[in-house]
Amino acid sequence: MTPEDRIHALGIWQGPIDISPITGGITNRNYLVRDGSVKRVVRLGDDIPVHQISRRNELAASRAAHAAGLSPAVIHHAPGVLVLDYIDARALTPDDLRDADTLERVIPLVRACHRNIAREFRGPAAIFWVFHVIRDYIANLEASGSSYRPLFADLLDKAERLEASGGPYEIAFGHNDMLAANFLDDGKRLWLIDWDYAGFNTPLFDLGGLASNNEFSEDAERAMLEAYYLASLTPDLWRRYRAMKCASLLREMLWSMVSEIHSTIDFDYAAYTAENRVRFERAFEEFEQDP
């Protein structure tokens, strides 16, 4: 059955529908569906055990994020299918997030994610502990005979050093995938979407991911942390933050290595792996040189 056939077969439409792929996704396949005057977004994706993605968790997080006022409503769900209200908005870009005025608007949304979604979440909730994810990715890559195997002993050692440096840890409900395209601007407000990796984590992982995924300058990073915590930045917080930023880059690199083997989406994962490897190695070297 084609993706279009699956969408037609949902049985929720009021009449003939028009289906258009939404480009840019590197985990799921997304479609814009026009049902008369109504527009919906349909996300197709089954559980992905190698990425620790549970669609049951994604559904619960999506509902909680909507209840917290951060994300569009869930209209319908079925195994491997999530139908969401369509938001007429523009996805942000890394350039947008590097703009100080835009970042000033983003920070309260990230803080609201960390503080408010847990109040609305119902049922069993996931824990997204990045260092467990890193170890699990490497174990899966070892079992798959990955060509990157010579790197793994060193990466595991670095991950342990980062884990030791990142504490003490706050715990909050995290988004855990702070790519620019997961922020939407409808001209009046911002939205946060895509809850595949949602779960309890430390806020510094999201903040580190926001900075690393969008290549913030150090000045922007410092401003981000002071805006988030509403306090002056301390050397201890800066050190712990930089450890989690490195962990975010390491996880992104390993995610891409796993995707090289397991994903069927048309995307140059090898190039993405190489890009994130360079960025991780640079960030880790800076982290070690400035204790």
Residue 160 has pLDDT above 90, yes or no: yes
Mean pLDDT of the chain: 95
Q: Is 3-85 assigned to CATH 3.30.200.20? A: yes
What integer pLDDT is reported at residue 74 of this predicted model? 98
Separation of first and last alpha carbons in the chain: 55
Domain extent listing, the chain: 3-85, 90-289
* Coil, helix or strand at residue 65: helix
The share of the chain scoring above pLDDT 90, in percent, equals 92
Cα–Cα distance for residue pair 135/45, rounded to 1 Å? 24
Q: Please write the tens of the pLDDT for every residue from 177-214.
A: 999 999 999 999 999 999 999 999 999 999 999 999 99
| pLDDT tens sequence across 141-154 | 999 999 999 999 99
Nearest to 202 by CA among 159, 237, 160: 237
pLDDT, position 291: 64
DSSP 266: S
CA distance 194 to 91: 12
pLDDT tens by residue, 73-104: 999 999 999 999 999 999 999 999 999 999 99
Burial 198-237 (b: 16+ CB within 10 A, else e): bbbbbbbbbbbbbbbbbebeeebbebbbebbeeeeeeeee
pLDDT digits (tens, 9 = 90+) for 161-187: 999 999 999 999 999 999 999 999 999
What is the four-CA torsion angle of 132, 137, 142, 145, rounded to 10 degrees?
A: 170
Top CATH class, 90-289? alpha beta
Packing angle, helices 203-213 and 100-120, rounded to 10: 150
pLDDT tops 70 at residue 19? yes
Count CB-CB contacts under 10 A for residue 113.
27
Q: What is the pLDDT of residue 149?
A: 97
In this prediction, residue 252 has a pLDDT band, given cuts at 50, 70 and 90, of very high
Query: Per-residue pLDDT for 23 more than 90?
Result: no
